[in-house]
Structure 1
């Protein structure tokens, strides 16, 4: 919800779409640079970068939610929400396989 004077932004599950689109744009640009200087295809390199970002985000979320982490500094919460983390890893694995299929196929 926007406060008075702030611009309304789209949200999906608490994540701003603007930041997601920016991250995908960066992956496309860097994937193109990787394709220019290696034997990778452009779309496969982009898929590999997106999968790496997803895995990195899932690992950071898991690490921060553990006792003593950024989101749980005093260790009061004993359980780590694994379902969203595993869903993100599964999506990353699918994107990684798609990139491999594009590169090989």
Structure 2
């Protein structure tokens, strides 16, 4: 499992409209192969700032399966006009935690 983390800065004054659009858009991402779950977090210290966390089976499920799909074009139409600047999106894998061995040194 990998975790996609997207740092989202929404245009000032557009938070309510963004959240309403996200309610629609989340059904799109949830229907994609390899999707395992997501959450949208609103920042308490920075107005109009969110973190989107999406769990995928693999990076390919996100980067190829979702981003090259027709469904992504719907996602994009619903959400991308809210962002300024465009989000930074990175992928993470577990390095340590309950039930996990530490990652090998030198990775």
TM-score under structure 2 length normalisation:
0.28
User: Which has the higher relative contact order, 1 or 2, with Cα contacts under 8 A spaced 6 or more apart?
Assistant: 2
Rg (Cα) greater in structure: 1
Which is helix-richer, 1 or 2?
A: 1
